[in-house]
Amino acid sequence: MRPTTHSIALTLFGFTAGAAVVSALDQLPSIKGAADADHQAQEASPVANQPSAPGFADAVVAAAPAVVKVYAKGSVDSGPRSSRPARSEMLASTLSGAQPHRAQTRLGSGVVIASQGLIATNGHVVRDCDEIKVELVDGRMLSAELLGIDDATDLAVLRAPLPELAPIALGDPSKLRVGDVVLAIGHPYGIGQTVSLGIVSATGRSRLGLTEIEDFIQTDAAINPGNSGGALVDTAGRLVGIATAGLSESGHAEGVGFAIPSTLVMQVVESIADHGQVDRGWIGLGGRSVTHELERRFGLRASSGVLVSSLVENGPAAAAGLRAGDVITAFAGTEITDASQLRELITATPPQREVPLVVWRGSERIEVSVRAAEWIAADRRDIASAARAERE
């Protein structure tokens, strides 16, 4: 998605002194006496000595030093690369464009995620860039090296000389519940590090058309242009996600933002840091989670699992004998409950590994063995096209 240039108007509100102010000044002695009496009464009250209402300052203190501003100089076209149909009119990349005279500079955010200065950010922030710099919260500016980009998740890993800066503490996004309070920390519009407050609106969001692998945390914490690659943290300041995009008709935050869970982020960071890329398995099928409606409509024997809706010709699943209409209920011994879980298991499978599947075909329970192939761009386009045709 192309970055949008935004202008922000700051208005200073003042007042004009007049006769009413002069009249009030004449009464200052009596006003001061009343104020002193009120102050003494407040000091005597036990309520005045109670601590202030709890806030989230400790969480910010813990997490904010690990959130950096990312400057990337490169081409203007920097939207997330995806072969899936993106709702480009509604899903706004949280990437801040510079002013016209700096049109080639992208502004985003990043999070120090591991030792040796490893920083996670979004791929659309740094893709096709000639120069990348990060600015620390204390104002220091450092050059950063791009170690790799994972197009399937739109995550990128940078390395900067930050030996003295501790990485952010990690939380467990699997324990998040809808309604839990979260904080978004990033650099919206390039104005400086900013914290916004919200709740978890949903978990496991997918089929948004943003990336090939989608398992987003949805939040109403403000995620604006420039927040791309920033942190979503819990109330203890632990990282639970990396901010990626927001649903918006105006280009501004409208309370529907998306973050990549930190567990997936760490898998990508570790793989890129070690191997320069992320190796994923692929079997060439598209499917839908079995629901009561699908069970009733198609007369399925399985009440949970994944209904195979499309197959890539000559792909591993097709070669193993799977057919459209089959219901996958187990993968490598793990019971399958929905399509998102199956996708995660497939992508976590090393290429060339043989995997047993339990499949229901009508009233018949069968077992098949599928050899996972390597996830490659051409295959992703094929299966995305098949899935899109099936939906339409």
| Residues identified as active-site | 124, 154, 228
370 DSSP assignment: E
Q: What phi and psi values does residue 348 have, to the nearest 5 degrees?
A: -80, -5
Neighbours of 5 (CB within 10 A): 14
Cα–Cα distance measured from residue 251 to residue 87, given in angstroms and rounded to the nearest whole number: 13
Beta bridge partners, 73, equal 105, 131
Q: How many CA atoms lie within 13 A of 125 on its CB side?
A: 36
- SS3 of residue 360 by DSSP: strand
Closest listed residue to residue 262, CA positions, set 89, 66, 105, 116 = 66
Closest listed residue to residue 80, CA positions, set 231, 196, 246 = 246
Is the four-CA dihedral 268, 271, 276, 280 of positive or negative sign? negative
Cα–Cα distance measured from residue 154 to residue 3, given in angstroms and rounded to the nearest whole number: 16
Which two tokens mark 299? 């007369």
Cα–Cα distance measured from residue 8 to residue 75, given in angstroms and rounded to the nearest whole number: 24
- CA distances to 152, 333, 346, 374, 383 from 353, in Å: 21, 14, 11, 10, 20
Closest listed residue to residue 240, CA positions, set 152, 179, 175, 151 = 175
Cα–Cα distance measured from residue 131 to residue 48, given in angstroms and rounded to the nearest whole number: 54
Cα–Cα distance measured from residue 232 to residue 200, given in angstroms and rounded to the nearest whole number: 10
